[in-house]
Amino acid sequence: MARIAVIDRELCKPHDCYKECIRFCPIVRTGKNAIFLDEESKRPVIAENLCTGCGICVKKCPFKAITVVNLPDELEEECVHRYGENMFKLYRLPVLKEGRVLGLLGPNGVGKSTSIKILSGEIFPNLGRVEEAPSKEEVIRFFRGSELQPYFEKLFSGKIKVVVKPQYVEKIPRVISGRVRNLLERVDEAGRFKEVIELLELEKVLGREIKLLSGGELQRVAIAAAALRDVDVYMFDEPSSYLDVKQRLKAAKLIRRVASWGKTVVVAEHDLAVLDYMSDHVCILYGKPGVYGIVSKPHGVRNGINIYLEGYLPEENLKFRREPVKFFYTAREEAPLEERMASWGDLEKRLGDFTLQVRAGEIYRGEIIGILGPNGIGKTTMVKLLAGILEPDSGYVATQHLKISYKPQYIAPKTSKTVREVLEGLSEGILSDPWFKTEVFEPLTLEPLLDQPVDTLSGGELQRVAIAACIAQESELYLFDEPSAHLDVEQRLAVARVIRRVTEKRRAATFVVEHDLIAMDLITDRMMVFSGEPGVKGMANPPTSLRKGMNQFLREVGITFRRDPSTGRPRANKESSWLDRHQKEIGEYFYAVVSEEEGGEE
Ligand code: ADP
Ligand code: ADP
Ligand code: SF4
Ligand code: SF4
């Protein structure tokens, strides 16, 4: 077995501890420096060849900064990159296919961005040799026999040109200024300006300064800027962040179109419906986030996503998740609705220039209603009306008799209390409640966050804490506004399950605003579709079945979905495929449950 020891540089605070890691190491006690303090950096270093992997330092470190894992020796030969001593290690690389879209699928921290950076030439792969990097020739030789060998030959000699849409679009205004039109016209190398702008609906922002763009606008401009270039390989790192459900599907259409121009495309994406629609193949990345990541061989997109949901990689005989993700759509569609929990009449609400009209509806005990629609259409306004935060201008909302828990869309905590203090403050003893522990605390991986001050958490960490805080309160009506924003694919699936279980356990009624269609499908019993003109006028339709609601929504976007015959998950049909044409013809944009032969196509 080969040993990997990783010390998290942010968590390790050598000035605030007693260097327990070194003091308690049994190997150090025998006089060998398995772990020692580096003279220069004053930080601990683990010598992986001396460390026996006993795990004592892992347990003793008060900041949980150390991880030690053992991996098969053979794998060591496939290490493509290591960021530095006691840092993250990446094994293998995704194999690209010309003219095809390759999706990268996996939780955060297992090396999707690192793979993209290596394949784009931004990071030179050191093959794990942090002291002395190998030469280009050695790297090319390392990949001999695989399609990556000619790839790196061409990349290193400048014969392949690559463009990357980076993951963090919010950093773009720091490096690029000026108007959107100037930027996009400058990069329009193949004369596709009109086509790309129309598809991403960017006409209205062309005259705007880049520094004034919202997250969703920046994302679409960044995707356009990459797609307009005329290069060989296009890489899109998380293209759907900040985008609403319609914009995601349009961005996915554009990305497929890039491949149809004969280009090679790579996409890292957490929205499974979008990933499925975009990709021809997927590579699954697994391992231990922040410690090591392994890239699987490419699988056809259907099989790849099914493997991911199953949590079992057959070629390695390896289980990477405890439970498979299951879709119980048929049972839920037929579930009887018994006790009415809350209702609302026809409503109207004006906010500045915006008007929301809502048609009367109701929610039943034990039911989850999903809210779907573009941004700026009034979804948050509706949730606030239900929560009693806003009063309607006309009509009524009958929720006053209920105890309500609300997870807002934007979470901006002003407290330096720790996560533990916040959760215990909301509901005393909640952290020792066995149900909360197994059904909420563990699936949301809150353990590492418990003693961190809330105002130091990242977006995804904050989201998980806010969801837990909402659930910690025993309520009858739960409102979750965009619970999957900033979360990775694994966490989104976990959140869907958590919301379902809390609704069942407390026999509550729940509303969820969601842009991720797979999460939506997993969570909801019925749904409300919002339509209208964003920023001007929103119309909320009454709750309807998932199938009718999705049908109504997808018809507008022009994308059809079917259910995968083996897992039951919804799958977007590729544009103009036989099923796509057929379903459009019969007006079934969602759920045509198809046979293995029909539904098995990639
Ligand atoms: P993903 O895209 O799957 O979220 P990344 O490739 O961004 O994962 O990162 C994988 C791990 O590599 C991260 O958890 C982080 O610990 C580490 N890492 C990323 N960039 C650096 C860097 N520049 N220096 C050191 N470690 C890094
Ligand atoms: P969604 O949740 O669907 O993105 P929102 O309900 O947040 O939409 O907002 C709908 C529209 O109402 C947006 O155009 C927004 O700018 C506007 N709006 C929201 N709150 C206010 C307010 N307090 N004053 C004026 N306009 C508002
Ligand atoms: Fe202290 Fe833990 Fe860092 Fe060791 S690893 S120096 S115990 S914080
Ligand atoms: Fe020492 Fe054990 Fe930590 Fe290795 S895992 S550095 S042997 S305490």
pLDDT tens readout for residues 221-270: 999 999 999 999 999 999 999 999 889 999 999 999 999 999 999 999 99
Q: Where does 286-362 have alpha helices with state H?
A: 301-310, 329-333
For ligand 4, the distance from its centroid to the CA atom of residue 453, given in whole angstroms, is: 29
Check if 108 has its Cβ closer than 6 Å to any atom of ligand 1: yes
Look over the chain and give the mean of its residue pLDDT values, rounded to a whole number.
92
Check if 486 has its Cβ closer than 6 Å to any atom of ligand 1: no
- What's the average model confidence in pLDDT over 323-351? 79
Q: Residue 40's pLDDT is what? A: 92
514-534 tens-digit pLDDT? 999 999 998 999 999 999 999
pTM comes to: 0.92
Poorest-confidence range of 59-63, 255-259, 567-571?
A: 567-571
CB neighbour burial string for 519-529, b if at least 16 within 10 angstroms, e if fewer: bbbbbbbbbbb
Atom nearest to 114 CA in ligand 1: 6
- Whether residue 550 lies inside any domain: the answer is no
- Whether residue 581 lies inside any domain: the answer is yes
371 plus 520 within the same structural domain: yes
Q: Residue 591's pLDDT is what? A: 72
Q: Residue 532's pLDDT is what? A: 94
Poorest-confidence range of 110-119, 194-203, 558-567?
A: 558-567
Res 349 pLDDT > 70: yes
Question: Can you tell me the distance from the alpha carbon of 468 to that of 340, in angstroms, rounded to the nearest whole number?
Answer: 26
- What's the average model confidence in pLDDT over 287-311? 95
Q: How confident is the model at residue 336 (pLDDT cuts 50, 70, 90)?
A: low
Question: Can you tell me the distance from the alpha carbon of 192 to that of 189, in angstroms, rounded to the nearest whole number?
Answer: 8
Do 228 and 188 contact (CB within 8 A), yes or no? yes
Res 190 pLDDT > 80: yes
Q: How confident is the model at residue 208 (pLDDT cuts 50, 70, 90)?
A: very high
Give how far the C-alpha of residue 418 lies from the chain's centroid of Cα atoms, to the nearest Å: 25
In percent, how much of the chain has pLDDT > 90?
Answer: 82
Res 146 pLDDT > 80: yes
Q: How confident is the model at residue 557 (pLDDT cuts 50, 70, 90)?
A: confident
Atom nearest to 44 CA in ligand 3: 6
193 plus 254 within the same structural domain: yes
Q: Nearest bound ligand to CA 214?
A: 2
393 plus 501 within the same structural domain: yes
> Can you read off the two tokens belonging to residue 243?
């985008």
Q: Residue 329's pLDDT is what? A: 61
Q: How confident is the model at residue 595 (pLDDT cuts 50, 70, 90)?
A: low
For ligand 2, the distance from its centroid to the CA atom of residue 351, given in whole angstroms, is: 7
* Mutate which of 25, 66, 67, 86 for ligand 3 pocket (most atoms within 8 A of beta carbon): 66
Question: Can you tell me the distance from the alpha carbon of 57 to that of 67, in angstroms, rounded to the nearest whole number?
Answer: 9
Check if 290 has its Cβ closer than 6 Å to any atom of ligand 1: yes
Q: Residue 141's pLDDT is what? A: 97
257 plus 336 within the same structural domain: no
- Whether residue 553 lies inside any domain: the answer is no
Atom nearest to 35 CA in ligand 3: 4
- What's the average model confidence in pLDDT over 272-296? 96
363-385 tens-digit pLDDT? 999 999 999 999 999 999 999 99
Res 1 pLDDT > 90: no
DSSP 243: -
Q: How confident is the model at residue 596 (pLDDT cuts 50, 70, 90)?
A: low
- What's the average model confidence in pLDDT over 276-294? 96
Res 601 pLDDT > 60: no
For the chain, how many structural domains are there in total? 4
42 plus 152 within the same structural domain: no
Q: Residue 264's pLDDT is what? A: 97
For ligand 3, residues with CB inside 6 Å are: 7, 12-14, 17, 19-21, 44, 61, 63, 65-66
Q: Nearest bound ligand to CA 57?
A: 4
Q: Residue 565's pLDDT is what? A: 84
| Pairing of the two strands 233-237 and 162-165 | parallel
63: containing domain: 2-71
Q: How confident is the model at residue 333 (pLDDT cuts 50, 70, 90)?
A: low
Check if 247 has its Cβ closer than 6 Å to any atom of ligand 2: no
Q: How confident is the model at residue 597 (pLDDT cuts 50, 70, 90)?
A: low
Q: How confident is the model at residue 126 (pLDDT cuts 50, 70, 90)?
A: very high
Q: Nearest bound ligand to CA 86?
A: 1
For ligand 3, the distance from its centroid to the CA atom of residue 23, given in whole angstroms, is: 10
- Whether residue 52 lies inside any domain: the answer is yes
Q: Residue 459's pLDDT is what? A: 86
Give how far the C-alpha of residue 492 lies from the chain's centroid of Cα atoms, to the nearest Å: 7
Res 206 pLDDT > 90: yes
Q: Nearest bound ligand to CA 235?
A: 1
Res 599 pLDDT > 60: no
9 plus 132 within the same structural domain: no
432's enclosing H/E stretch is none
- What's the average model confidence in pLDDT over 543-564? 90
Atom nearest to 530 CA in ligand 2: 3
- Whether residue 513 lies inside any domain: the answer is yes
427-457 tens-digit pLDDT? 898 999 999 999 999 999 999 899 889 988 8
87 plus 106 within the same structural domain: yes
- What's the average model confidence in pLDDT over 408-417? 84
308 plus 377 within the same structural domain: no
For ligand 2, the distance from its centroid to the CA atom of residue 203, given in whole angstroms, is: 21
Poorest-confidence range of 23-32, 312-321, 351-360, 470-479?
A: 312-321
Q: How does DSSP assign 8-47, residue by residue?
A: -TTT--TTSS--HHHHT-HHHHTT--SEEE-TTT--EEE-
Q: How many C-beta neighbours within 10 Å does residue 569 have? A: 22
254 plus 363 within the same structural domain: no
Of the residues 319, 337, 359, the one at which a domain ends: 319
383's enclosing H/E stretch is helix 379-387
Nearest to 540 by CA among 509, 513, 508: 513
Res 535 pLDDT > 60: yes
| Pairing of the two strands 509-513 and 526-533 | unpaired
Of the residues 71, 89, 104, the one at which a domain ends: 71
355 plus 260 within the same structural domain: no
For ligand 1, the distance from its centroid to the CA atom of residue 508, given in whole angstroms, is: 40
As beta bridge partners, residue 313 has 318
Q: Residue 484's pLDDT is what? A: 94
In percent, how much of the chain has pLDDT > 70?
Answer: 97
Atom nearest to 535 CA in ligand 2: 14
Q: Residue 512's pLDDT is what? A: 97
268 plus 385 within the same structural domain: no
Q: How confident is the model at residue 598 (pLDDT cuts 50, 70, 90)?
A: low
Atom nearest to 14 CA in ligand 3: 6
For ligand 1, the distance from its centroid to the CA atom of residue 90, given in whole angstroms, is: 9
CATH of the domain at 535: 3.40.50.300
Task: Give 492: exposed, middle or buried? Use CB within 10 Å, 0-12, 13-18, 19+.
Answer: buried
- Whether residue 552 lies inside any domain: the answer is no
- Whether residue 235 lies inside any domain: the answer is yes
536 plus 571 within the same structural domain: no
> Can you read off the two tokens belonging to residue 221?
């401009």
Atom nearest to 481 CA in ligand 2: 2
Phi, psi angle pair for 341, to nearest 5°: -100, -45
- Whether residue 284 lies inside any domain: the answer is yes
Do 44 and 54 contact (CB within 8 A), yes or no? no
Q: Residue 331's pLDDT is what? A: 46
69-91 tens-digit pLDDT? 999 999 999 999 999 999 999 99
For ligand 3, the distance from its centroid to the CA atom of residue 49, given in whole angstroms, is: 20
Of the residues 545, 570, 586, the one at which a domain ends: 545
